Amino acid sequence: MKDDAPSRTAEVVCLARARDQSRSPDERILDDPYARSFLSAFSRAALATADATGKVGEAIEGWALGLLPYVLCRHRYIDDRLAAFLADPAPGRVVLLGAGYDSRAWRFADALNGRTIYEVDHPATAGRKERIVARMTLPEVDRRLIVTDFIHTPLAQALADGGVVPGERTFFVWEGVSMYLTREAIKQTFRVLREVAGPGSQLAMDFWFLVDQPDLIATAHRMSPGFLSLMGEHITFGIHPEDVGDFLRREGLRLVEVADAEALERRYVKDSRRVYPAAYLLHAEVG
């Protein structure tokens, strides 16, 4: 992402959510009535074209190697983990790291029941989102924005400046970010989460990894990070799901579950869409 421009991939993710909203309720992976509001004119045109062309629109989704169904399943999986966290009557808060055009603050307004939701993001993306939010009619929630460039202001300082007090039970969402970071940056983020988290805190996030099958489809999946690089957002980190438990344990987190493409398809996909196999979700306990 360019320093002065909103994230392109954040809008692509939002476009995927808006596209799924065009499907019948029984075929949707995710229900997000707010996604369309955050699309640019170009993305709205792309959405209208996909909706109008029917099967052509589905073919375009298929051409993307399962990335669009993956981001929908990613969002839904995290939604389910968050819903379970909020169903517990114990006090708690939600922290979204790299929030993008996330709409959980309003989609979970009733379940939040007055709990605070913090959205942490880059100034360019956060600024565009806030300009759009100002024009919308939305449920009232305790939503607090923490704007940081993640370079000049360390995450720990940004959270402290934004009012995130250490020691409270927290649900952390870290979605669509880890693959753009270095190993050390990810480890440092885990350390910050441990310092902030209180008893009962949880994390839901995703990782990418290298598909190592020696066939043409796997080769195409290995080439897909190059597409994101063309958008200005470079894939720099991956870890195999077989290794992620030990990685988390060394950083003081306990792995609860891994959900790979097969598990996501089984849980959430009700049609013939396939989920991108070179990424997976995890749910972990923090601290």
Q: What is the CATH number of the domain that holds 154?
A: 3.40.50.150
Angstrom CA distances, 24 to 50, 138, 161, stand at 15, 24, 43
The range of the structural domain enclosing residue 199 comes to 8-286
Q: Is residue 2 in a domain?
A: no
Overall pTM surpassing 0.95 (yes/no): no
What would the pLDDT profile of 234-276 be if each residue is shown by its tens digit?
778 999 999 999 999 999 999 999 999 999 999 999 988 989 8
Q: Which helix (H) or strand (E) holds 111?
A: helix 109-112
Could you read off the pLDDT of 146-174 as tens digits, one per residue? 999 877 789 999 999 999 999 999 999 99
**190 within domain boundaries:** yes
Number of domains in the chain: 1
In sequence order, the β-bridge partners of residue 143 are 117
- Please give the pLDDT value at position 57: 57
Q: What percent of the chain has pLDDT over 90?
A: 71
Per-residue confidence at 80, pLDDT binned at 50, 70, 90? very high
Q: Is 3 contained in some domain? A: no
Give 117-140 pLDDT, tens digit per residue: 999 999 999 999 999 999 999 999
pLDDT at site 158: 95
Residue 89 in any domain: the answer is yes
Q: Per the domain annotation, does 88 fall within a domain?
A: yes
Give residue-wise pLDDT tens across range 177-189: 998 899 999 999 9
In a domain, 19, yes or no: yes
Instruction: State residue 210's pLDDT score.
Output: 72
Q: Does residue 72 lie within any of the structural domains?
A: yes
- With CA atoms as reference, report the closest residue to 122 among 102, 145, 148, 146: 148
- CA gap 32, 102 in Å, rounded: 10
Residue 1 lies in a domain: no
